[in-house]
Chains A and B, each alone.
Chain A
Amino acid sequence: ETGVTQSPTHLIKTRGQQVTLRCSSQSGHNTVSWYQQALGQGPQFIFQYYREEENGRGNFPPRFSGLQFPNYSSELNVNALELDDSALYLCASSLGQVENTIYFGEGSWLTVV
């Protein structure tokens, strides 16, 4: 296994609600990135955190926000949920900002109804 753990594994939310997804990176990894994978699509980069600061962001609106904690674990927060936010949310960790070996967690399945 990759040592990257995510929670919860599955959840259902109602449109307009807020959700927080959590990720514990592999031991010693200081960089965490988040991806959204809609059904039938490849993962889409949301943002990356390095040493508690966001240092790269994809084409996602501000209602997608995140945090990284001193122990390098991370949260993804999504406000004002929309039906199209239904997807698999993947967390990936790496040692360093630019690193070819990136490890994915098993993901959190979010369904918005």
Chain B
Amino acid sequence: RKEVEQDPGPFNVPEGATVAFNCTYSNSASQSFFWYRQDCRKEPKLLMSVYSSGNEDGRFTAQLNRASQYISLLIRDSKLSDSATYLCVVNMGYGGATNKLIFGTGTLLAVQP
């Protein structure tokens, strides 16, 4: 089983749609959680951190369920510029001494005009 699993998509949605991405992780010792965005042939960029209490940044809402080891990202009112690959990321660390980011394979989102 992969350490971080997410649906690779692609998700093809019209502008203005609401789209949800889900992700599960296997190691309950995981320390912190993120969503990264990666445009074609570019480096990953941090979209937002994910907290158990849920957090929102404009049209983006992220949620963490530690008991189910499940992370989600909701995008409301999709824009053409949201088209990208969304990577679910877990920071494993090494006994708290190292940043070790474990990435999912990414979910491709294509927003259609």
Please tell me if B22 contacts chain A, counting CB pairs below 8 Å. Answer: no
Known contacts A42-B105, A98-B93; A55 and B98 CB within 8 A of each other: yes
A48 touches B100 (CB 8 A): yes
A105 touches B93 (CB 8 A): no
**Residues of B contacting A58 in the complex (Cβ-Cβ under 8 angstroms):** 100
B103 touches A44 (CB 8 A): yes
**Chain B proximity mask over A36-77: 1 for CB below 8 Å, otherwise 0:** 000011111100101000011010000000000000000000
Known contacts A40-B105, A42-B106; A94 and B99 CB within 8 A of each other: yes
A100 touches B97 (CB 8 A): no
Please tell me if A102 contacts chain B, counting CB pairs below 8 Å. Answer: yes
Please tell me if B87 contacts chain A, counting CB pairs below 8 Å. Answer: yes
**Chain A proximity mask over B97-113: 1 for CB below 8 Å, otherwise 0:** 11111111110000000
How many positions in chain B have a CB within 8 Å of any CB in the partner chain?
Answer: 26
Assign chain A's interface to a size class.
20 to 34
**Residues of A contacting B31 in the complex (Cβ-Cβ under 8 angstroms):** 98
A33 touches B43 (CB 8 A): no
* Closest beta carbon of chain B to A2's beta carbon, Å: 8
CB-nearest residue of chain A to B2 = A42
Q: Name the residue in B41, B87, B101, B103 with the highest tally of chain A Cβ atoms < 10 Å from its Cβ.
A: B101
A90 touches B99 (CB 8 A): no
Cβ < 8 Å to A, chain B residues 63-113: 87, 91, 93-94, 96-106
Chain A to chain B contacts (Cβ below 8 Å), 13 pairs: A2-B43, A41-B105, A42-B103, A42-B104, A43-B44, A48-B100, A56-B100, A90-B44, A97-B98, A98-B31, A98-B93, A98-B96, A106-B42
